[in-house]
Structure 1
């Protein structure tokens, strides 16, 4: 039967090891997720039709519909704003088109509704802050979240947003959706290495605790 001292030593060793191992495994899942996103962004352009729009997430797409005259503004930092316009698809669904970046002096750009074909990339991971409500002030939202914008305006928008690659207005510079930074391999190696180092250090410092006392060893 293990002594209380040995049990306590095992617990002290195992708890940090399990935490470090879990952190490394979590980074492994994050690595696969990021690699999947990057792979989708490198795939050929596809025309987005009906069905589940989420299936085209992070794909280069071509979308056709009626671009409305409504302008929505999302704060992008340093007196700049993303300007978004709802597009009515043939399915009867509205989706937000991120036309690009403008500065404060260029706000209130008016564009008449028109049927248009847009090249862009579909982004379906809107930022959500559960602690602070994404409430518009002076028609400007703090961050991009299609769901909260829908509730605020009383109009149902698809949660995905098309980042237009085309220049849709002379006063608007298209905002490129860049590939996500992927450092999860380094993070994973770091956590797994720390877990291994922890085991080695604990073994060196506590190996005497696990030594078998010859006096209590019974030979058969």
Structure 2
């Protein structure tokens, strides 16, 4: 009897854990759906003046400033078709504040070409995005050859001598080179699948428990 009692406790403990994990994923699902809706709404809004607005993720902005082409950063990345190249990123001074301006993607053979540096500094329209943490598994940046794999904040300071806002400005427009990065609300959202997995495990264990209980009683 004691063995059966302990076994029941063991089974219901794991069932409770799986139900709790599934419930947490439902909470995360609702949070993610609300976030996606907020992003979609923000991306549809007209651009607002950066200088007179509170910075937030996915805010569409318009501004003007001084672009530093001398400290232009070439960040390795793939374009929308999976072709390797660089994202062109510049220090941008707006008032007393420094930002990183992501102007878009170029093929490798356009690195250093003056044709990619035609931009209207007085009419900058883009989208703010919080800078994500550098991926530790990517190769180290080669600062001497200006070949980057991550926007490591320590490296950007070493390279430019400046500290930047935690928000990167992604330039909007129809330019061919650099080709501005398309910012969308397509955020990974697998929480429903995860919730179903945890709930299914809980149900499966409970049914197996009932089967063995009926068989042994």
Normalising by structure 1, we get a TM-score of 0.75
Alignment partner of 1:122 is 2:128? yes
Report SS of the residue matched to 2:28.
helix
What is the aligned partner in structure 1 of residue 169 from structure 2? 162
In structure 2, the gaps of 5 or more residues are none
1:96 Cα offset (Å)? 0.7
**In the TM superposition, what are the counterparts of 1:78-97 in structure 2 within 5 Å?**
78-90=83-95, 92-97=96-101
What is the aligned partner in structure 2 of residue 18 from structure 1? 17
Alpha-carbon distance between aligned partners in 2 of 1:152 and 1:210, rounded to the nearest angstrom: 70
Normalising by structure 2, we get a TM-score of 0.76
Answer whether contact 1:146 1:157 (CA < 8 A) is retained: no
Answer whether contact 1:20 1:191 (CA < 8 A) is retained: no
What is the aligned partner in structure 2 of residue 105 from structure 1? 109
Report SS of the residue matched to 1:82.
strand
Write out per-residue CA displacement over residues 23-64 of structure 1, whole angstroms, 9 at most, x where no aligned residue: 5514632551353144134222332226863xx211222232
Write out per-residue CA displacement over residues 165-199 of structure 1, whole angstroms, 9 at most, x where no aligned residue: 135x6632111112224533532442353144235
Report SS of the residue matched to 1:42.
helix
What is the aligned partner in structure 1 of residue 2 from structure 2? 3
Distance 1:148 1:16, change over 3 A: farther
1:139 Cα offset (Å)? 0.7
Alpha-carbon distance between aligned partners in 2 of 1:148 and 1:180, rounded to the nearest angstrom: 29
Alpha-carbon distance between aligned partners in 2 of 1:58 and 1:8, rounded to the nearest angstrom: 51
Answer whether contact 2:29 2:191 (CA < 8 A) is retained: no
CA RMSD of aligned residues (A): 3.2
Give the stretch that moved more between structures: 3-12 or 124-133: 124-133
Alignment partner of 1:201 is 2:207? yes
What is the aligned partner in structure 2 of residue 174 from structure 1? 180
Alpha-carbon distance between aligned partners in 1 of 2:131 and 2:148, rounded to the nearest angstrom: 17
Answer whether contact 1:94 1:158 (CA < 8 A) is retained: yes
What is the aligned partner in structure 2 of residue 216 from structure 1? none
1:72 Cα offset (Å)? 0.6
Alpha-carbon distance between aligned partners in 2 of 1:209 and 1:7, rounded to the nearest angstrom: 17
Distance 1:209 1:116, change over 3 A: farther
Q: How many residues align?
A: 205
Answer whether contact 2:25 2:191 (CA < 8 A) is retained: no
